[in-house]
Structure 1
Amino acid sequence: MSKVWFVTGSARGLGRSLTEAVLAAGDKVAAAARNTQQLQSLLKQYPDQLLTVALDVNNQQQINEAVTATIARFGRIDVLVNNAGFGIIGAAEAFTEEQVRSQLETNLYAPIAITRAVLPYMREQRSGRILQISSIGGRVGFAALSIYHAAKFGLSGFAESLAKEVAPLGIFVTSIEPGGFRTDWAGASMTYAQQVEGYETTVDARKAFMESGKFVPVGDPEKAAKAMIELVKAPQQPLHLVLGSEAIGILKQNNTNRDAEIAQWEKVSLSTDHSEAEPFLTSVEGRQYLK
């Protein structure tokens, strides 16, 4: 039986590649985008499989209407893909209040709101797949991307907690964590804070590299789309799926560094336990907490 997908940010980039691949595979898609005119060629090609819905992901009324329209057209939502988002570069102190809010609202609050709108239907179905498109920047932080990382770390954490919460309902959740892919994330979608003195070797260096044209991502969005389609066919889903050799390399190095830091400071960490406390991992509370 064909699946019904709800994909945000479907008009371009990874969302567009995924929408095209899902339709070609014979599934149905509610393609959500701010500008649905960019989806007209697909609508002509797949009139019975595709529903286009206008969606500003920061507008709760539009979220509700888009979900309701999808249920009215297709009767269910089997796969939710929260893909809409954008990047922003700058020193933490240099971002405007509007830039901070816009980043958090689009990359964190919106996926949470859309997930919450879809969950009642998946709960009633006792089935569903949710793919939160986070980033390797949801696991590892770099200079100049502090607000972006704040949103993506939050989204990855939300996905990990939610996965454990909804597993008994037959709903699987995965945080998709790509490295650089050949979309316009570092191009037309990227925004910048005003330059501030003192960050020449960190923030300014990264901004210059991004604007130089020398950043050529290794990831192929069409291959990422194929991987996600295969993922939702699998009997189980991982909590995290890292995409691309760049992301794998970054994560492995970060894990090595983090393990070394834990070992170096473990004595200090353990010294803060109450004198009457049982070691956490062997305690009843610890075993219950980690379930």
Structure 2
Amino acid sequence: MTREGKVWLVTGASSGFGRAIAQAAVDAGDTVIGTARRTEALADLVTAHPDRVEAIGLDVTDGERIDAVAADVLTRYGRVDVLVNNAGRTQVGAFEETTDRELRDLFELHVFGPARLTRALLPHMRERGSGAIVNISSFGGQLSFAGFSAYSATKAALEQLSEGLADEVTPFGIKVLIVEPGAFRTNLFGKGAAYFSHEHPAYAEKVGATRKAVREGDGTQPGDPAKAAAAIRLALDAEDTPLRLALGGDAVDALVGHLDAVRTELATWEELSRGTDFDAR
């Protein structure tokens, strides 16, 4: 197909950031292939823009399905200009409460799935000398706290993959953008959407506060997904696109505090750290 504007492939496009990004792309005259486990949630967008929106069923933990979807999209559309790896979920639980299965499942969703889809599309971007890969992380990709060790671990892994990738593909004209949102009014905290590990009484106070915040936070988050989508577009369109884009005042405050703490700790222990080098001859 010959398309005017950009062609976007957005995972988890049925709600939240994915839906907002898809809507913003369509409003700008671009074409969107939105993937979701339940494509009926995209029916209204497809109906409103049948020539520029397609919904495709995809579970990003299914590697073979990822390959098939990527090949099909490239065959029919000829290119993907912007890949948005957005599909994901919340998981709350103390480190000790989190099982191997829960941890592996989360890595499949937040790391291995996006990595496989990116690898499937990257050669075509590289050969064309253009493209953008947007990986939706979290401010938790740079820091963590009680109840979010597993979630933050997956986002940190995604961020480091993205940072190395950016260094590799920038010479080919490909942009990589890591998005680090705070609390936005999506369904991430919604009933049935957030996953909670089995509770251990030893962590009732420390992790309990995080569980309470997630369970009671739905609908009160300060972030506006539509504004987030607009900010992502502005960052991608900028001549000097940032590697990381924090979204929301809470994300900025948390990251500034974290960076200050890291710098203070590094300075406090700098002499000891430097003293581990071989003595100069």
Size of the alignment, in residue pairs? 277
Partner of 2:262: 258
Partner of 1:179: 182
**1:72 equivalenced with 2:54 (yes/no):** no
Q: Is the 8 A contact 2:223 2:248 kept in 1?
A: yes
Q: Which of these residues, 202, 207, 213, is aligned with residue 203 of structure 1?
A: 207
Partner of 1:52: 55
| Cα distance in structure 2, aligned partners of 1:191 and 1:202 | 18
| Cα distance in structure 2, aligned partners of 1:152 and 1:17 | 21
| Cα distance in structure 1, aligned partners of 2:271 and 2:43 | 61
Partner of 2:141: 138
Amino acid of the residue matched to residue 124 of structure 2? Y
Structure 1 position 201, deviation (Å): 2.5
| Cα distance in structure 2, aligned partners of 1:121 and 1:63 | 16
Partner of 1:237: 241
| Cα distance in structure 1, aligned partners of 2:101 and 2:200 | 17
**1:221 equivalenced with 2:207 (yes/no):** no
**1:111 equivalenced with 2:114 (yes/no):** yes
Post-superposition Cα deviations, 1:73-99, rounded to whole Å, max 9, x if no partner, equal 221110010000011001111122221
Structure 1 residues 101 and 253, CA gap change in structure 2 (3 angstroms): same
> C-alpha root-mean-square deviation of aligned residues, in Å?
1.4
What 5-or-longer segments of structure 1 have no aligned partner? 278-291
| Cα distance in structure 1, aligned partners of 2:199 and 2:244 | 34
| Cα distance in structure 1, aligned partners of 2:236 and 2:72 | 23
TM-score, structure 1 as length reference: 0.92
Amino acid of the residue matched to residue 114 of structure 1? L
Structure 1 residues 126 and 213, CA gap change in structure 2 (3 angstroms): closer
Post-superposition Cα deviations, 1:143-198, rounded to whole Å, max 9, x if no partner, equal 10111011000111111110000011110101110011000112232110111122
Q: Is the 8 A contact 2:187 2:218 kept in 1?
A: no
| Cα distance in structure 1, aligned partners of 2:236 and 2:94 | 38
Partner of 1:163: 166
Question: SS at 2:202's partner residue?
Answer: coil
Amino acid of the residue matched to residue 259 of structure 1? R
Structure 1 residues 215 and 265, CA gap change in structure 2 (3 angstroms): farther
Post-superposition Cα deviations, 1:201-244, rounded to whole Å, max 9, x if no partner, equal 21112112322348832110000011112222222311111111
Q: Is the 8 A contact 1:172 1:236 kept in 2?
A: no
Amino acid of the residue matched to residue 79 of structure 2? R
| Cα distance in structure 1, aligned partners of 2:268 and 2:150 | 29
Structure 1 residues 69 and 96, CA gap change in structure 2 (3 angstroms): same
Task: After the TM superposition, list the runs of 4 or more consecutive aligned residues in structure 1 that deviate by more than 6 angstroms.
Answer: none
Deviates more, 1:34-43 or 1:6-15: 34-43
Amino acid of the residue matched to residue 97 of structure 1? D
| Cα distance in structure 2, aligned partners of 1:107 and 1:8 | 11
Q: Is the 8 A contact 1:51 1:70 kept in 2?
A: no
Question: SS at 1:93's partner residue?
Answer: coil
| Cα distance in structure 1, aligned partners of 2:243 and 2:209 | 34
What 5-or-longer segments of structure 2 have no aligned partner? none
Q: Which of these residues, 86, 97, 101, is aligned with residue 98 of structure 1?
A: 101
Post-superposition Cα deviations, 1:92-119, rounded to whole Å, max 9, x if no partner, equal 1112222111111101111111111110
Question: SS at 1:226's partner residue?
Answer: helix
Question: SS at 1:172's partner residue?
Answer: strand
**1:154 equivalenced with 2:157 (yes/no):** yes
